[in-house]
Amino acid sequence: MSLTEVSLFNNVIKQIRYKIKSYTGIFHALVVLQILGLFLSTIGEGSMSEPGTFFSISVQYFTSGVVVGMTTFWLFINTLLITTKAYREDDFTFVTSRLSRLWANIGFVFLLSVIGAVSAHLAINALKVYLIIQNDELIMSNSLSSVSVITGLLGLIGYFILVSAIAYTIGSIFQRSKVIAILVSISFIILGNIIIRFQGEELIFQGLYFFTKEPNLALFWLKIIFTSSLLFLISWMMSKNQEVQA
Amino acid sequence: MSLILAFVPLIIVFGIFMIFISNKKSTIPKKTRLTSKFTTRLVVVYAFFLLASSITAAFISPSENTNEKVDITHLNDDLYSNLSNGIEEEIPANLILNEWTNEIEGDIFTLETQDAYDLPIVIMIEQVESTDKIVEATLYKGIYLVNEIEIPKYLENIEVDWQGDQLIVNIPTQDSVSMSFFRYDFTFTQFSGNASVDDSRGMSSSAQYPILYIKVPKSLTLNVDEERVEMVN
pLDDT in tens, A166-182: 999 988 888 877 777 77
Neighbours of B26 (CB within 10 A): 14
- Taking CA atoms, what residue in A is nearest to B180? A60
Contact call for residues A120 and A71 (beta carbons, < 8 A): yes
Give residue A93's pLDDT band: very low, low, confident or very high (50, 70, 90). Answer: low
The torsion angles phi and psi of A60, rounded to 5 degrees, stand at -120, 145
The torsion angles phi and psi of A74, rounded to 5 degrees, stand at -60, -45
B window 3-32, beta carbon within 8 A of A: 3-4, 6-7, 10-11, 14-16, 18-19, 22-23, 25-26, 30, 32
**Residue B36 contacts A, CB cutoff 8 Å:** yes
Contact call for residues A79 and A167 (beta carbons, < 8 A): yes
Contact call for residues B20 and B216 (beta carbons, < 8 A): no
**Residue A245 contacts B, CB cutoff 8 Å:** no
> pTM of this prediction?
0.77
- Closest CB to B40: pick one of A24, A56, A138: A24
pLDDT exceeds cutoff 90 at B20: no
Which tens digits make up the pLDDT trace of A184-227? 777 777 777 777 776 666 666 777 888 888 889 999 999 999 99
- Taking CA atoms, what residue in A is nearest to B192? A148
Q: In what order do the strands lie in the sheet with A57-63?
A: A46-50, A57-63, B177-183, A138-140
| % of chain B residues with pLDDT over 70 | 72
**Residue A227 contacts B, CB cutoff 8 Å:** no
Q: CA dist A80 to A31, A116, A244, B97, B190, Å?
A: 19, 16, 20, 64, 27
Paired sense of beta strands B211-217 and B122-128, if any: parallel
- Taking CA atoms, what residue in A is nearest to B119? A54
Q: Which helix (H) or strand (E) holds B146?
A: strand B143-146
From CA A8, how far away is CA A163, in angstroms rounded? 26
From CA A66, how far away is CA B25, in angstroms rounded? 32
**What is the distance in angstroms between the Cα of B103 and the nearest Cα belonging to chain A?**
30
Q: CA dist B213 to A168, A197, B19, B97, Å?
A: 69, 57, 72, 11
Average pLDDT of chain B to the nearest whole number: 78
User: Taking CB atoms and an 8 Å limit, are A140 and B61 in contact across chains?
Assistant: yes
The torsion angles phi and psi of A62, rounded to 5 degrees, stand at -125, 150
pLDDT given for residue A244 in this prediction = 57
